[in-house]
């Protein structure tokens, strides 16, 4: 059985949606067990089916606006639902963690309590995003490292390649470097160095530079940059999608014929909305840790949280982290020869 630790107190709608998501996962996924970390007095009345679900009392929720996440993790190691869930990975009582709690606290906690894979230089947050083609794409680093070295990005891109192959079923994923133009020589010094390094590597197929305007219809499967740039790309994409939806709704509702058109197109509009919904995919994986940690959206409802659990189980099933670790270990052996 794959054991998934769930931070039941983290998120905008905790613990109700986390508990409902856990029960939905148990109903649909036969090879998992779930451990809910949270306030058991609150969780228990919500848990109408405890098949393969256990609870661990950890009532404290680290606030979304926590200004000192490192201190919050260390101070509340024994009472925080997030900290206790993360600690379960190091103790060997769980195989993966799913949380929709505060992002910076989760990253800090993962580094302190789970720790990086030995030899992996910098972790990265890698959401899977929708695309025009219908094939999900990987975007990284979405906020983990504001500054970074090219060789660290090489490791991150290789991790993304393994994830794309094993979880997204892309046979030969292409990696694209997010830049201000497609021509070689564009961008900052970092971009030049990464371009040269990626052009020489045999670890993955490097497409070359790609522009942010193609993020929803990219010429590659993996889009990579430093944490500052990729985070802006991700938030701009999310904001634009929401804004365009509001503009379209306002336009349709402004006239009688528009309302008729909206009614006739309801099925297509619902399909479009679903295709842009991050909850259909699950959450963002933190690359480079010892074991999998999935960051679900803070506003995740039960279905989104279920998908985060499903995603975590599939990562464990396909041994994605083990395959990356094998490469890192071989890299270390080669450098020591």
173 and 48 both lie in a single domain = no
pLDDT for res 276: 57
Percentage of residues in the chain having pLDDT higher than 90: 67
132 and 270 both lie in a single domain = yes
pLDDT for res 300: 86
CB of 296 within 8 A of CB of 75?
A: no
Domain with residue 159: its CATH number is 3.40.718.10
Phi and psi angles of residue 228, each rounded to the nearest 5 degrees, phi first = -70, -50
pLDDT for res 214: 94
Range of the domain at 22: 1-120+288-337
267 and 296 both lie in a single domain = no
199 and 260 both lie in a single domain = yes
198 and 65 both lie in a single domain = no
Is residue 283 one of the residues assigned to a domain? no
24 and 79 both lie in a single domain = yes
Is residue 59 one of the residues assigned to a domain? yes
- Write down the mean pLDDT value for the chain: 89
CB of 240 within 8 A of CB of 130?
A: no
pTM attached to this predicted model = 0.88
1 and 33 both lie in a single domain = yes
Q: Which of 228, 260, 278 is the last residue of a domain?
A: 278
Q: Which two tokens stand for residue 146?
A: 């504001």
d(CA 62, CA 83): 9
266 and 314 both lie in a single domain = no
47 and 167 both lie in a single domain = no
Tell me the pLDDT tens digit for each residue of 221-248: 999 999 999 999 988 888 887 787 788 7
Residues of the chain with pLDDT under 50: 336-337
Give the count of domains, the chain: 2
302 and 227 both lie in a single domain = no
pLDDT for res 255: 82
Contacts of 93 (CB under 8 A, 6+ apart): 3, 5, 35
173 and 261 both lie in a single domain = yes
260 and 321 both lie in a single domain = no
Is residue 293 one of the residues assigned to a domain? yes
């Amino acid at each position: 059985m794959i054991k998934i630790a769930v931070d039941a107190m983290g998120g905008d709608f905790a613990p109700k949606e986390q508990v409902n998501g856990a029960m939905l996962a148990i109903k649909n996924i036969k090879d998992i067990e779930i451990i809910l970390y949270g306030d058991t007095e609150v969780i228990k009345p919500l848990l109408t089916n405890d098949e393969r679900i256990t609870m661990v009392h950890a009532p404290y929720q680290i606030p979304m606006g926590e200004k000192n996440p490192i201190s919050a993790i260390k101070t509340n190691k024994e009472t925080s639902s997030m900290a206790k869930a993360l600690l379960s990975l190091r103790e060997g009582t769980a195989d993966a963690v799913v949380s929709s709690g505060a992002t910076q606290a989760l990253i800090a906690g993962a580094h302190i309590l789970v720790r990086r894979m030995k030899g992996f230089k910098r972790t990265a947050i890698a959401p899977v995003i929708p695309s025009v083609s219908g094939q999900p794409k990987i975007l990284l680093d979405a906020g983990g490292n504001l500054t970074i070295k090219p060789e660290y990005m090489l490791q991150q891109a290789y991790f993304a390649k393994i994830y794309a192959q094993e979880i997204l079923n892309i046979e030969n994923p292409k990696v694209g470097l997010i830049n201000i133009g497609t021509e070689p020589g564009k961008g900052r010094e970092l971009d030049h160095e990464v371009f040269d390094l990626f052009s020489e590597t045999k670890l993955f197929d490097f497409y070359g530079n790609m522009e942010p305007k193609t993020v929803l219809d990219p010429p590659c499967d993996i889009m990579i940059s430093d944490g500052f740039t990729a985070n802006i790309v991700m938030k701009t994409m999310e904001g634009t999608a929401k804004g365009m939806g509001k503009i379209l709704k306002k336009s349709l509702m402004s006239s009688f014929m528009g309302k008729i058109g909206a009614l006739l197109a309801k099925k297509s509009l619902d399909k479009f909305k679903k295709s842009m919904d991050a909850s259909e995919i699950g959450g963002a994986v933190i690359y480079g840790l010892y074991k999998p940690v999935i960051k679900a959206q803070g506003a995740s409802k039960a279905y989104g949280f279920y998908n985060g659990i499903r995603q975590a189980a599939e990562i464990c099933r396909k041994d994605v982290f083990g395959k990356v670790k094998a490469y890192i270990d071989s890299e270390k052996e080669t450098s020591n020869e």
